[in-house]
Structure 1
Amino acid sequence: MALTAHTGTDSGVIETLLRDDLFHADQAMLHMAPILQHLLRNDDSSIFSDEIIARVRGMFADIARQLVQAMGEAAGHVDAGAWAREAGPGLAEMLASNQALLTHVHMLAVEWQLAEKLQGRQGIDPVLTPLLQDLIASPDPDLAARGMNLLAAQARFGQAIRRMQMPLTELPGELHAATLAMMRAYVADDPSGVAAAELAEMSLHKARAGAASRIDLLSYAISASGARSSATLSLQNAGVALFLTALGLGAGLERETAVMCTTESQMPRLALSLAAAGIDRDGLVETFAALHPDIALPPALEDLHPDRAAAMLASSQAADARR
C-alpha cells in the first residue's frame, strides 16, 4: 500500500496514491474468481490458505448434496441422502463455475476466518456483540425479536462454516434462483430428472421464501437500529458480521466486496470505503489497528471527503465492469 509510505499532509497527493493503490487492488479482485476456480479443480492451494479452499470446496459439495437430495426425494428414491452423495460431485463443479456464487461462498469463508482471527487477537465475540445486545434489549419488540433471530442465525453460521456446510435457505435471493437453474441444467438431458428437478425447485423455492437469512437479518439490524456510523463501524462494538454489513451499506458496496476490503490486498479500498461510509479519523485508525496492526496511516487521509471517496470507489467499480 503506497500511501502508508507517505507521511505528508497534501490531500491531492494522498488521492493520487489512493488511486494508484486502488488500481492494483482492482487487479487483485479481477483475478480472484478465475484463480479460485482453478484451485477448486486442482490441489494447488498456494495462493489461498488450505483452510479457505477446503471450506469453499466443502460448502459447494454441501449445496450440491442438498440439491440432489431434494431431487431424489421428489423422484421417490428410498435413500435420497445416499443417492445425493453419489450424484452430487458433478453438480458441485457446475455450481463453482458460477462466478457470483463462487464469490459469495468464498467471502463467507473469509468472513468467518476474520471473525476467528479477531476473536483470538482482540477478544471480539463472533456471535454476541455489544451492538447486538443493544438490539436484543430494544424497547421495540419487533427489533428485539429480530435481534434474537440474528443471534441464533450468527451462531448457526459459525457452526455451518466449521462443518463446511452452506444451507440453501441462507443464499441471497438471486443466487438461490441461479442455483436452482443450475440444478435444472444438471439433469436437462434426463426427462425423469427434469420432472424431479421441477418438483424439487417448487419445494426449495417455498423454503427460501419463508426464511429470513442471516444476511437479511444483518441488513435489517443496521438499517433499523438507528445507531451512528461510529457504533456500527466499530469492530469492537458491532463485531465482524454487523461491521461488514454496515460498511457495505454505508459505502454503497456489495457485501462480498466489503468482506474483500478486509484482506491485505485491498487496504486502499478499505480506507476509501470507510471514508465513504463517513467514519472519522479515530475510527479509521481503530479499524486499521484491528485488521492491519502493522500499517501506519498518513495524517492527510482524514482530509478525504466522504463524497470524494465514494466517487473514487464508483469509478473503480465502473472500470471493473468494463474489463
Structure 2
Amino acid sequence: MDQAVFSDSDTGGETGGALATADRRLSACGETLERMVVTGPSRLLDDETVARVRALTGDLAAQLAGTDRDLANAVHAMLVGNRAILTHCHALAVEWRLAMRLSARLALDPVLPPLVQRHCATMMGLIAAQTRSFEATRRMLLVAGDLPADLQNLAYATVRAARADHALTHLAGARADDNGGRLALLHQAVAGLGEDLDHALRVDEAGVSLFFTALAIASGHPRETVVLATAEDDPVRLALLLCATGLPRDDVARQLLALRPDADIALADAAPNAAAAEALLGAVR
C-alpha cells in the first residue's frame, strides 16, 4: 500500500473534514430519531412534506448562489438552520398539500375557487400568482419573489455571509419589497372583498390560500401559524383560531370539519367567545 496516501496533508484534511461532517450528521440523526420515537408519526412532518421543504430550500439556495455549487450547498445549510425561512417553506408545503386534498375531496379549484371566480376581474394578478406558486410547489421549486420582503432580505444576507469574499454581482444591492408578491396580493384581495368579506372565512368558497389569509387577519395570528395549525395532530389550535375570529359556533364547526374531517366536533366549543379563544392561544405562545 502506498504510504504517501497517509502522509498527504491535503488528503488528511479532506478525510478529517468528511469525518467531522459525518459526525454532525450522525448526531443530528440521533436527535431526530429520538424526537420521532417520543412523538411518533406526525401530520406536520410526513415524508412528502419533509421532501418538499428540503427541495424548496434547496431551490432557493441554488437561485441565490447562481452556478457556484459549493456556495449553494453552504447557503442551503444556512437556510435550513434559519427558523423563519424553514417555517415559511414548511407552510408552503402544507398549504399545497391541503389544496390538493380539498381539490380531490370537494372538487375545489385551488386557483379559481367560487369567491375568486366572482371577483375575477379585480383578481387577475392574484390568479396569475396562485397559478405560478402552486405549479412551482408541485414541481418542488420556490418562487423566490413571493417570499415576504423580510425573508427575501434575510436570504440575501445569508448568501453574502456564506461567501463574503465572493463577487455576487447578481445580488449587489439587492433589496426586496412586499408589493408584488403572492401574499401581498392575497391581503389586497381580502381587503377588497367588500360585502363578500364573510365568504373569505369559508374554505369551500374562498379556497385554501384566500381562507388562510383571511383567518390570519381575523384571528390576529401569523399566516404560517394558521397554515401549520391545519396539520397539527391535535386540531385544538385550529379550533381556537377559528373561534378567535368571532365566527358563530356552527360556522366554526363547519370550517373545522371541512379542513379536518377527523376532528372532534366538540372542539367547536373550545372557547365560549373570541376573547376567551385569544386568551387561550396567548397563554401558550
Instruction: Flag the 1:127–1:300 CA change in 2: closer, same or farther, 3 A.
Output: closer
Q: Aligned letter for 1:66?
A: Q
Q: Which deviations, in whole Å up to 9, do the C-alpha atoms of 1:256-313 show, x marking residues without a partner? A: 0000111142511111111111212221121122122233323981871112212222
Q: Deviations over 1:40-61 (max 9, x none)?
A: x989996522211111111111
Alignment partner, residue 283 of structure 1: 251
Corresponding residue for residue 182 of structure 1? 158
Where does 1:11-50 land on structure 2 (aligned, <5 Å)?
Answer: 47=42, 48-50=45-47
The structure richer in helix per residue is 1
Shift in CA distance, 312/222, structure 1 to aligned 2, threshold 3 Å: same
Which residues of structure 2 form unaligned runs of 5+?
1-27
Q: Could you say if the C-alpha distance between residues 229 and 275 of structure 1 is closer, same or farther in structure 2, counting changes exceeding 3 Å?
A: farther
**How many residues were matched structurally?**
250
CA distance in 1, matches of 2:58, 2:33: 16
- Report the TM-score, using the length of structure 2 for normalisation: 0.80
Is 1:156–2:132 an aligned residue pair?
Answer: yes
Contact 1:136 1:148 in 2 (8 A): yes
Report how far residue 230 of structure 1 moved. 3.6
Give the direction of change, closer, same or farther, for the CA distance of 1:65–1:169 in structure 2 (3 Å limit).
same
In 2, Cα distance between the equivalents of 1:89 and 1:157? 24
Is 1:62–2:59 an aligned residue pair? yes
Verify: 1:201 aligned to 2:171, yes or no. yes
**1:220 Cα deviation from its structure 2 partner:** 1.1
2:97 — aligned with what? 113
Counterpart residue type for residue 178 of structure 1: L
Partner amino acid for 1:163?
Answer: R
Runs of 4+ displaced beyond 4 Å: 41-47
Distance 1:67 1:176 in 2: 10
* Contact persistence 1:232–1:246 (CA under 8 A): yes
Q: What is the 5 A alignment of 1:1-323?
A: 47=42, 48-69=45-66, 83-85=67-69, 87-137=71-121, 144=122, 147-188=123-164, 190=165, 193=166, 196-197=167-168, 199-202=169-172, 204-205=174-175, 208-209=176-177, 212-227=180-195, 230-298=198-266, 301=269, 304-317=272-285
Larger Rg: 2
One-letter amino acid matched to 1:166: L
SS of the residue corresponding to residue 112 of structure 2 reads: coil
Alpha-carbon distance in structure 2 between the residues aligned to 1:124 and 1:300: 24
Q: Distance in 2 between matches of 1:219 and 1:277?
A: 16
Structure 1 residue 85: Cα displacement: 4.0
Contact 2:253–2:268 (Cα < 8 Å) also in 1: no
* Residues 63-85 of structure 1 deviation map (CA, whole Å, 9 limit, x = unaligned): 1111111xxxxxxxxxxxxx334
Separation of aligned partners in 1, 2:247 and 2:203: 12
Q: 2 CA distance for matches of 1:58 and 1:42?
A: 19
**Contact 1:52–1:110 (8 Å) recurs in 2:** yes
Percent identity, please.
37
**Secondary structure of 1:127's aligned partner:** coil
> Does 1 or 2 have the higher relative contact order (CA < 8 Å, sep 6+)?
1
Measured in 2, the distance between the counterparts of 1:255 and 1:116 equals: 19
